[in-house]
Structure 1
């Protein structure tokens, strides 16, 4: 049976893989977009995601774990698929935004999975996860609004 520190570390390491996916996804989007405003927004989201990752990694270290720098296999496959799709069809703004929305939906699931362990996590960790989850939700809404303007 795991103690609470091990559970905390495991939950945070798994969550941080999704945050690292978010970083890579928005880097890719910033390079692919032709829209300067979108590019600026995606770069802001890379910076925000880096802050999230750093915050999570500080807590992983605090609870005795190793920093998590990798991404998920699912995220790597998705980014590869988007590269192939872009090569075949070109990268239009709508498909870039749609890919970002998919990534944020995966992030929401990852935050919810982390919060499923709420009873085993320190309150400060729960608050951090909830705060990041809310920020991701706000990003989802902004991306939906951006998608409406490019349709």
Structure 2
């Protein structure tokens, strides 16, 4: 496998986590009872869609197939959260906690992608780092929201 093929694989995997992020925030926006939180989650959906478009553009430019699916882990997690909320209700703290868990998974996915920085073009490394920083800022905001909800 050459560097371009490896880079495509890395980005396809990363984009599955970004797609998980989109689905997670769509769910959060639909169940939250707080209008400010719903607005924030909708902003994060748009941000994530932009991230996915950037990643898919990079994949295409390297000759790979774009990635529009989500991870199995994310599907299982969202299913579990649906079951949990049907039993306990969708309180704001639970919604925020599930978003925080998803964002922490995204951080791991960005770190995993950056572990392959030697196989990625410099502009792609910069894109991944920029997205990782935005995800990190989201983690911080979600932590603050969680503390306010406690």
| TM-score relative to the length of structure 2 | 0.99
Q: CA deviation at 1:61?
A: 0.3
- The aligned residue for residue 53 of structure 2 is 54
3-state secondary structure, aligned to 1:50: helix
- The aligned residue for residue 150 of structure 1 is 149
Q: Deviations over 1:121-147 (max 9, x none)?
A: 111110000000000000000000001
Are residues 1:84 and 2:79 paired? no
The size of the alignment, in residue pairs, is 150
- The aligned residue for residue 65 of structure 1 is 64
Counterpart Cα distance in 1 of 2:66 and 2:116: 20
- The aligned residue for residue 21 of structure 1 is 20
- The aligned residue for residue 95 of structure 1 is 94
Counterpart Cα distance in 1 of 2:7 and 2:118: 11
- The aligned residue for residue 8 of structure 2 is 9
- The aligned residue for residue 137 of structure 1 is 136
Counterpart Cα distance in 2 of 1:132 and 1:8: 16
Counterpart Cα distance in 1 of 2:120 and 2:84: 40
Are residues 1:42 and 2:49 paired? no
The answer for unaligned runs of 5 or more in structure 1 is: none
Counterpart Cα distance in 1 of 2:98 and 2:128: 23
Q: CA deviation at 1:13?
A: 0.1
Moved over 6 A (4+): none
Counterpart Cα distance in 2 of 1:109 and 1:139: 14
Counterpart Cα distance in 1 of 2:120 and 2:16: 18
Q: CA deviation at 1:4?
A: 1.1
Q: Deviations over 1:67-94 (max 9, x none)?
A: 1000000000000000000000000000
| TM-score relative to the length of structure 1 | 0.99
